[in-house]
Structure 1
Amino acid sequence: MVPRAGDRLMVEARSRLVSSEAKDDRVTPFAVEALDLRGRLVRLGPTVDAVLKHYDYPPRVARLLGEAMALAALLGSILESHGRFQLQTRSDGSVDMLVVDYDAPGKLRGFARFDAARLAEISDPEPAALLGRGHLALTIEREEDAARYQGVVPLEGESLAEAAHAYFRQSEQIPSFVRLAVGEVVTPGGRAWRAGGLLLQHLPVAGSRLRDLDPGDAPDGGGAQEEDDAWTEGQALAATIEDHELVDPSLSGERLLFRLFHERGVKVFNERPVEEFCRCSTERIERLLKSFTPQERADMVGDDGRIGVTCEFCATFRSFDPAAFD
């Protein structure tokens, strides 16, 4: 879509036409200052496609891991230049573990562990049906002060987006809206995975918009107090977003944000690129193998007389001579 003369947004405190250039693997911070809203939009293309194709994941597992990657990018991008963010689930579902790492300023990797036999017995197509019950852990490690923070919320048969809502409500006490989407598109090179996500939060400058709830039961004469009007409007606008808009390779992030919030005015900030990475290396694995006893290493030797190690994240296989560690 070609920008029209009236399609303007604020970028770093200056106004310009909305860009229709669609860019993959980007996190776009934005603000709707008239409603005290802050947020981030993520669009993942080649990065999520590469991670999901490292292993032959069934489509339902791939979609769930794609959602986890989009959510990790939204939450991890709060780290400006250093530090690590990890999203991890442990549950009793057919997908009993998801792990996604985000290394600032924009490196992403992930994997899923699942039980193929149990997965085949589940007819529900929704990703939440694969998680079952367990917990979602969100961990931040900041390098500058060696600080480590972790928040844990239960998984009780809901989606990752709903679990994220619970995290912000219970741990951060910030009104938040999360929408995640994963899909496949047809490209000249074949089918490719895409993922997208939107995080919207209500952050009044001095808390003047927020109203404290009664410390006891609901106030006399009525039920619980209503939400702030600005946040109600912000949620209503964000809820109009469609899954296909989040993964559409021809729709720019700026155009999407303008669609949602142009009536109130939206300001976007510098985009942050995201790329696939993996921390594994031959040197790291050698150090790990040296930490085992000779007997433990002997138990690892395969039929070919060597120790084989496959990275859970990137599926890279490395082979080692056990004699090299004696």
Structure 2
Amino acid sequence: MSNKTLPSRDRAQRFLFEETDIRGEIVQLDATYRDILTVHQYPPGVARLLGEFMAAAVLLATTLKFEGKLVLQARSEGQIPLLMAECNSLLQVRGIARGAQEATADNFEQLLGGGQLAITIDPDSGQRYQGIVPLQGSLAASLEMYFEQSEQLGTRFWLSANEQSAAGMLLQQLPTQLVPDPAERQAHWEHATTLAATLRDEELLGLAAPEIAHRLYHEDPLRLFEALPVSFKCTCSRERTLAALSSIQTADIEELLAELGSITMDCEFCNQQYQFVREDLDGVLGESKPVVH
């Protein structure tokens, strides 16, 4: 089936339990996920894991209260040395798996074994923050460990991906407002998470977000918010690439120009190519003279 004939949802939708301090978020990625897979021909196990990372990055980005971006980055001793997904406050997402072209595994431990997960919050203005936890069992379990250590608010994740779609759901306890009694809060949390645990991967991937919320919580008073669009967007640009070139030694740039006549740089996220000739690099080279051989 071609991508043009497949349904496209690509949105995040929040819901709130009206009578207790719990919120939920569901994200589903169709065209956004396939756009990234089109750029990189990843093995199936790598593609599905990248889909989970993308869905998780969007879920986490929906919690941002400022303009900026959130980055999930895994480094491991497994078959994927580095896997990264990034989502900004506009819910524009991109992702990459580096060094995983020959990966053959289809389980988390073999793909990302012995690794660490870094969660970086990078506001456009203000202080950058990063938290790091071991990768254990699954991405969902690793993220839950992060929230247990850093936020002290109950947080659960359900993530899934196949060849065409990626999806995720988050449940999170909110600071005490409606229900002050700790035992009652815990009972509400156990109720919400127990029902969520009945959600099957094919339902998370195949049903629309309102259907999922109704399927799980039709007996609970829920408020469903307007869905927000999610899209694939790379932040690379000619200006940023030129700025990156400025970190290279002038002599090395001169040598490349002498040998090739121009310098071409590729964005590893979207495969966009940027070519620079000497005139483009005047600001980088300054007053330096060409290397004479």
Given the two structures, how large is their TM-score scaled by the length of structure 1?
A: 0.77
Tell whether the 8 Å contact from 1:128 to 1:160 is kept in structure 2 after alignment.
no
Q: Could you tell me the percent identity over the aligned residues?
A: 37
Matches within 5 A, 1:40-189: 40-80=25-65, 82-117=67-102, 119-120=103-104, 122=105, 125-143=106-124, 145-156=125-136, 158-184=137-163
* Structure 1 residues 301 and 130: CA distance shift in structure 2, 3 A: farther
User: SS at the partner of 1:65?
Assistant: helix
- Tell which deviates more after alignment, 295-304 or 32-41: 295-304
Tell whether the 8 Å contact from 1:178 to 1:198 is kept in structure 2 after alignment.
yes
Tell whether the 8 Å contact from 2:36 to 2:94 is kept in structure 1 after alignment.
yes
Higher strand share: 1
- Tell which deviates more after alignment, 74-83 or 254-263: 74-83
> What is aligned with 1:222?
none
Query: Where does the alignment leave 5 or more consecutive residues of structure 1 unmatched?
Result: 1-21, 185-192, 212-225
> What is aligned with 1:34?
19
* Cα distance in 2 between the residues matched to 1:299 and 1:90: 33
1:257 to 2:213 alignment: yes
User: SS at the partner of 2:182?
Assistant: coil
How far the C-alpha of 1:180 sits from its partner, in A, is 0.3
* Cα distance in 2 between the residues matched to 1:50 and 1:115: 18
User: SS at the partner of 2:110?
Assistant: helix
* Structure 1 residues 200 and 270: CA distance shift in structure 2, 3 A: same
> What is aligned with 2:200?
242
Aligned residue identity for 1:137: A
* Structure 1 residues 75 and 302: CA distance shift in structure 2, 3 A: farther
> What is aligned with 2:182?
210
Query: Where does the alignment leave 5 or more consecutive residues of structure 2 unmatched?
Result: 1-6, 286-293
* Cα distance in 2 between the residues matched to 1:116 and 1:34: 48
Q: 2:225 aligns with which of 269, 280, 285?
A: 269
* Cα distance in 2 between the residues matched to 1:37 and 1:100: 26
Tell whether the 8 Å contact from 2:78 to 2:109 is kept in structure 1 after alignment.
no
1:287 to 2:243 alignment: yes
How far the C-alpha of 1:307 sits from its partner, in A, is 1.8
User: SS at the partner of 1:295?
Assistant: helix
* Cα distance in 1 between the residues matched to 2:242 and 2:264: 11
> What is aligned with 1:231?
189
RMSD: 2.4
Higher helix share: 2
How far the C-alpha of 1:294 sits from its partner, in A, is 2.2
How far the C-alpha of 1:304 sits from its partner, in A, is 4.5
Tell whether the 8 Å contact from 1:82 to 1:142 is kept in structure 2 after alignment.
yes
